[in-house]
């Protein structure tokens, strides 16, 4: 039991595997921290992807029936552009530029056809995926 009085299930603490630049990152907010919630019909997971931009990172999320989730993309950096100015980064505390991938397991099987990934503007990838419907 945690200090807030709620029970934290060990089954809901995913083992996260990072590769590429996601593994090399140091300092700053970590890339790849995962929170998982569960309801009767679905799972909700939130993954931290700080410093990534949806329109530049080519984020791809693949979900398998057994509950395995694979996320990969590209961390841009070094030079950042907005409509008025170009910035050359002198300090790089977030994940370094390059390809990254990560994977983790949800607590149970899912129906990947019923997944709703949403990359939020705050750098959180939020995924809602339905559990399989039992056969009659």
Tell me: pLDDT of 93 over 60: yes
Q: 84 is in which domain, residue-wise?
A: 29-130
Q: Are 66 and 106 in contact (CB under 8 A)?
A: no
* Better-predicted residue by pLDDT, 100 or 42: 42
Does the residue 69 lie in any domain? yes
Q: How confident is the model at residue 3 (pLDDT cuts 50, 70, 90)?
A: very low
Q: Average pLDDT of the chain?
A: 81
Here the CATH number for the domain that contains residue 88 is: 2.60.40.790
**In whole angstroms, what is the distance from residue 67 CA to residue 83 CA?**
40
Does the residue 19 lie in any domain? no
Total count of residues recorded for the chain: 136
Q: How confident is the model at residue 31 (pLDDT cuts 50, 70, 90)?
A: confident
Does the residue 135 lie in any domain? no
Q: What's the number of domains the chain is made of?
A: 1
CB atoms within 10 A of CB 113: 9
Q: How confident is the model at residue 1 (pLDDT cuts 50, 70, 90)?
A: very low
Q: Which residue has the tokens 């990838």?
A: 125
Residue 122, C-beta contacts closer than 8 angstroms, at least 6 positions apart: none
Does the residue 1 lie in any domain? no
Does the residue 78 lie in any domain? yes
Does the global pTM surpass 0.85? Answer: no
**In whole angstroms, what is the distance from residue 99 CA to residue 105 CA?**
21
Q: Are 125 and 119 in contact (CB under 8 A)?
A: yes
Does the residue 104 lie in any domain? yes
């Amino acid at each position: 039991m945690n200090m807030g009085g709620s029970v934290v299930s060990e089954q809901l603490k995913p083992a996260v595997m990072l590769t590429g630049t996601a593994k090399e990152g140091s300092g700053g907010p970590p890339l790849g921290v995962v929170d998982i919630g569960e309801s009767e019909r679905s799972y909700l997971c939130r993954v931290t992807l700080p410093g990534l931009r949806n329109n530049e990172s080519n984020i791809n999320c693949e979900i398998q029936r057994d509950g395995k989730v694979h996320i990969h993309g590209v961390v841009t950096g070094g030079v950042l552009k907005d409509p008025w100015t170009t910035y050359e980064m002198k300090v790089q505390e977030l994940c370094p530029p390059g390809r990254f991938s990560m994977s983790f397991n949800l607590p149970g099987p899912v129906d990947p056809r019923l997944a709703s990934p949403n990359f939020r503007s705050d750098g959180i990838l939020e995924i809602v995926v339905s559990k399989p419907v039992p056969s009659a």
